[in-house]
Amino acid sequence: MFIQRPVVVHCRFRAGAEQDNRSHHLHSISGQDGQRPRLTTPTDRWGKIGSMGALSDAVLPLIRSRAELHRWSAANAHGRQMHEALDILEHALPTTDPLEAYTVAHKALASAIKVIARADDSSGIIGDACQRLLSLHPKLAAAAHVPVGQLITWMMAFQFEGEVDFFELDPKVYAAALGDRGLSGYRSRLDQVQQGLAPEPDSDAWQDPDRHKRWVLDWNARRLAVLDRDVEAIIRTHARDRKVAAWFHDAAKALEEIGETELAIEWARRATDFDHGHQAQRAAESWCALVEEYHPDELVGARSYLFYRWPTALNASRLHAAAGSAWLEHEADVTQILKGNPIDAVTFALSTLKDTHQAWKLAHDLNLTSEHTWKELVTAYEPIDSLAVLAIHRQLVESTLTNPGAEYYRDAAKRLARMRLLAAGSDRARDIDDFIAQLRDTYRRRPRLQQEFDRAKLP
């Protein structure tokens, strides 16, 4: 049996707010006496600040920085400091004058944007701090009764003249601060920008001097349509020219936001049926979530539809969960369809059905070639028949050693040690030792491999 090794791709993911390792933003303060640092919370820090007028002195220095933040580690460290500042600010809000709180948050946001503009924020920690400030800003503006003219001027400058262009302002959440008069003025300012645009170039043109302005105007049109609860405007601005599934999905999400659940279900289904791409699959999950919430009696049918559209182990598992006691009605068809993809068939039997015997049989009948899936399967099957898995372990070792490198040698050595343990006391033990001797001879010019075998106490 030939086992194909999967291609491994290493990449750095942009971390979300939950991955910034702030640990409730506890701050470590080292004493001058060399004692162990004491953990303090925003409550402790704010309690030491004293007068309310000192809020800006407590927050802004932690936001601002003149340091070189192009290094990833330096940017991460400053990002954590920014979150500490925001913890202090948020803790102080209940006892702080709304205008003072807004002023501090407004200055902090301006400084945070300057910081992220020159930082390597690959981890997203500084970006998350900016998002926290952007979430606070409209609430504080409403509480402080900021003059609407001043607020509109800032909103326009932030979106059209800002140092960075990867944050959006949502006019819907600023509605309370703007009021009816402010919203009317804001719409007028957007119209002025719209009227000043150059003619839109052909679709084949790659240069458009007003591309950013058009994007901002389109974003505002979508959010204002939601604010107005205008169904026709929502569909027009979100579905656009209806050329991609994601735009149908956007329309569905906006319709759900205003409580038009039946229309949301309809548009999510249209996004699902658009094509077989990843956007349609993402929309399909939204469709099922809506069906589950508003028409739970139709969920099994929806999940069944998705499985036949995308017959994967994941969709089979979701159908299994939705069907419950009615699973037997679907089991035969699902099992038969999954046989078209051995990885999905074995994974579903092993992970969802918890039927290790069936998974083992399917792996052999379907000539499974996925090394990753075989590794999971032999681990599950060892307690059932420890000797039966030895042949698969051997193939995994041989496949691993086709790649030179210490990590592969360690993996092979650990697996060989496991094989010896499984075969101990049986007539297969000698075969395993002979196999190890054969490998030592075959790779005698790989000293690191010999070293890893020795460390694993292999013969």
User: What value does the mean pLDDT take over residues 24-49?
Assistant: 41
Q: Which of 14-28, 48-62, 338-352 has the lowest mean pLDDT?
A: 14-28
Q: In angstroms, rounded to a whole number, what is the distance separating the alpha carbons of residues 113 and 158?
A: 10
Average pLDDT, the chain: 89
Q: Which of 4-18, 285-299, 334-348 has the lowest mean pLDDT?
A: 4-18
Q: Are 337 and 309 contacting, i.e. CB atoms less than 8 angstroms apart?
A: no
**What is the DSSP track for 344-378?**
HHHHIIIIIS--HHHHHHHHHHTT--BHHHHHHHH
pLDDT(38) > 90:
no
* Residue 205 pLDDT: 62
Listed in sequence order, the residues at least 6 apart from 369 whose beta carbon sits closer than 8 Å to its beta carbon are 1, 2, 3, 4, 342
Give the burial string for 200-222 (b: 16+ CB within 10 Å, else e): eeeeeeeeeebeebeebbebbbb
Indicate yes or no: pTM above 0.85. Answer: no
* Residue 204 pLDDT: 62
pLDDT(426) > 90:
yes
pLDDT(117) > 70:
yes
Q: In angstroms, rounded to a whole number, what is the distance separating the alpha carbons of residues 58 and 80?
A: 15
pLDDT(57) > 80:
yes
pLDDT(295) > 60:
yes
Confidence of residue 287 (pLDDT cuts 50, 70, 90): very high
What would the pLDDT profile of 188-240 be if each residue is shown by its tens digit? Answer: 999 999 999 988 887 666 788 899 999 999 999 999 999 999 999 999 999 99
pLDDT(49) > 80:
no
Instruction: Please report the beta strands in 142-213, taking only residues with DSSP state E, as ranges in sequence order.
Output: none
Task: Find the DSSP H helices in 229-312.
Answer: 231-239, 245-257, 261-272, 278-294, 299-309
Work out the percent of the chain whose per-residue pLDDT is above 90. 84
- Return the higher-pLDDT residue of 1 and 37: 1
Q: In angstroms, rounded to a whole number, what is the distance separating the alpha carbons of residues 317 and 334?
A: 10
Q: In angstroms, rounded to a whole number, what is the distance separating the alpha carbons of residues 145 and 11?
A: 46
Task: Find the DSSP H helices in 49-124.
Answer: 55-63, 72-92, 98-117
Rounded to 10 degrees, the C-alpha dihedral 409/413/414/419 comes to: 140
Name the residue ranges covered by the structural domains of the chain: 385-459
Any idea what DSSP says for residue 29? Answer: E
CA angle 319, 320, 324 (to 5 degrees): 115
What would the pLDDT profile of 66-98 be if each residue is shown by its tens digit? Answer: 998 999 999 999 999 999 999 999 999 999 999
* Residue 351 pLDDT: 96
Classified as helix, coil or strand, 79 is helix
* Residue 329 pLDDT: 95
Q: In angstroms, rounded to a whole number, what is the distance separating the alpha carbons of residues 37 and 56?
A: 26
Cα–Cα separations (whole angstroms), residue 196 to 51, 92, 193, 206, 335: 48, 43, 5, 20, 60
pLDDT(62) > 90:
yes
Q: What share of the chain is helix, strand, coil (3-state, %, to 5)?
A: 70, 0, 30
Q: In angstroms, rounded to a whole number, what is the distance separating the alpha carbons of residues 352 and 116?
A: 44
* 205 half-sphere exposure, CB direction, 13 A CA radius: 9
* Residue 29 pLDDT: 31
Tell me the Ramachandran region of residue 240: left when phi exceeds 0, alpha when psi lies from -120 to 50, beta otherwise.
left
What would the pLDDT profile of 333-375 be if each residue is shown by its tens digit? Answer: 999 999 999 999 999 999 999 999 999 999 999 999 999 999 9
